[in-house]
Amino acid sequence: MKNLPKLAISIIIPLAVGFISSFFTRDSIPTWYNTLVKPALSPPNWIFFPVWTLLYVMMGVSLYLVWRKGFNNKTKTAIYIFSAQLLLNFLWTFLFFGLKSMLPAFVEIVVLWVMILITIVRFYRISKEAAYLLIPYIIWVSFASYLNLATFLVNM
């Protein structure tokens, strides 16, 4: 129970990033995104909210599993890398939906993917469970990368 505040904070942080990001998607989906030609395998719009919510919660639990190990050099570095990838996660939404800049968003999501991989590796050294919780995230970002590039290409 003493770690409950850490767990709550760890989950709230990624959820807050997702919530703030939603301000870009909320306005862009009906006015811009829905007018684009979608590539093969594009899921319906309604699927993104529950998937991202689950991923943000899993990211938060992952962060908690590392944070509860203390705040030494190893965990600090891992948490800073996690924070950087979370910032990149937000930046992608801003680029793609906010600025409607699909190609820069694709370049950015590739960088995000690399940062998620680095986060997984760093978290694995501290908590295998924390790393495993990020695997669905990197898989989803891989799929999002395909959607980003394919949407750009079919709408050139």
Residue 128 covered by a domain: yes
Please give the helix or strand (H or E) that residue 156 lies within, else none: none
Predicted confidence (pLDDT) per residue in 9-57, tens digit: 999 999 999 999 999 999 899 999 999 999 999 999 999 999 999 999 9
Query: How is residue 154 written in tokens?
Result: 């079919």
Print the domain residue range for 29: 4-34+44-154
Q: Is 93 exposed, middle or buried (0-12, 13-18, 19+ CB in 10 A)?
A: buried
Assign 40 to helix, strand or coil: coil
Which pTM does this prediction carry?
0.95
- Answer yes or no: are the C-beta atoms of 88 and 112 closer than 8 Å: yes
Residue with tokens 């694709």: 106
**What is the C-alpha separation between 103 and 111, in angstroms, rounded?**
13
Residue 56 covered by a domain: yes
Query: How is residue 85 written in tokens?
Result: 């990838």
Chain centre distance of CA 26 = 17
Residue 64 covered by a domain: yes
Query: How many domains does the structure of the chain reveal?
Result: 1
Per-residue pLDDT, 1: 63
Residue 76 covered by a domain: yes
Predicted confidence (pLDDT) per residue in 54-113, tens digit: 999 999 999 999 999 998 999 999 999 999 999 999 999 999 999 999 999 999 999 999
Instruction: Label residue 70 left, alpha or beta by phi (over 0 means left) and psi (-120 to 50 means alpha).
Output: left
Residue 39 covered by a domain: no
Query: How is residue 45 written in tokens?
Result: 């719009």
Q: What is the CATH number of the domain that holds 51?
A: 1.20.1260.100
Instruction: Label residue 138 left, alpha or beta by phi (over 0 means left) and psi (-120 to 50 means alpha).
Output: alpha
Residue with tokens 């639990």: 61
Which letter does DSSP use for residue 34 in this model?
Answer: G
Q: Measure Cα distances from 156 to 12, 32, 102, 145 in Å.
A: 38, 14, 10, 17
